[in-house]
Amino acid sequence: MLSKEQTQQTAEGIPVGVSNRHIHLSAEHIEALFGKGHALTPLKNLKQVGEFAAKETVTLVGPKGVIQGVRVLGPVRKFTQVEISRTDGFSLGVVPPLRDSGNLENTPGIVIVGSRGAVTLTKGVICAARHIHMGEEDACKFQVADGDHVAVKINGPRGGTLDNVLVRVKPNFLLELHIDTDEANAAGLKNGDTVSLDLRVN
């Protein structure tokens, strides 16, 4: 049993970024969906430097349902990656495996429809595993390294602890916990809320 002091032993606030369903596209797929020579139009910069929400959206068509207005995020990626929640998966009739970004082996595909064409993706649909972006200074402060898994403490009526949170360290990363909409809704979190590392178990 822990003392009250021990259970409250947490580190400094980490801002939360809630990832709604979205898609990263390869150059080839941008052309197939939006037309030859098309380039993504930035709509809004995301917190991580160089990342942006594009004006373009796609429709996802699964065996059981359709989700329209799925935001394309830029810049262009080497491989197309569809990030949806488990709830979205039930609507579409696809079970997205929990994966770190870029780990797309043995993941399901889906049909993607853009304004000028469609792509039958054979793999690339995932439920993104939660992770914390941080720069090297923060990694030093929190005493963690790239690739570590940590636990995160959430306060509030739907509070608790999230285990197995991947730490991703790069010099230009800004401190941000990325969770999906299921995790945000389940925990009562929204963009800009803050959480802490749970030092009891890290």
The smaller minimum CB distance to a second copy, of residues 174 and 186, is found at: 186
Binders of a second copy among 85-104, rule CB under 8 A? 85-87, 98
Q: Which amino acid is at 115?
A: S
Compute, in degrees rounded to 10, the torsion defined by CA atoms 17, 48, 140, 11: -20
Binders of a second copy among 7-66, rule CB under 8 A? 7
The smaller minimum CB distance to a second copy, of residues 55 and 158, is found at: 158
Listed in sequence order, the residues at least 6 apart from 184 whose beta carbon sits closer than 8 Å to its beta carbon are 16, 18, 190
In angstroms and rounded to an integer, the radius of gyration of the C-alpha atoms of the chain is: 18
| C-alpha–C-alpha distance, residues 19 and 169, integer Å | 19
Element holding 141 (H helix, E strand): helix 136-142
Residue linked to tokens 């004006």: 55
78 binds a second copy (CB under 8 A): no
Beta carbon of residue 181, minimum distance to a second copy (angstroms, whole number): 7
Size of residue set near a second copy by CB under 8 A? 30
163 binds a second copy (CB under 8 A): yes
191 binds a second copy (CB under 8 A): no
Site residues (vs a second copy, CB under 8 A):
1-2, 6-7, 85-87, 98, 129-130, 151, 157-164, 180-183, 185-188, 199-201
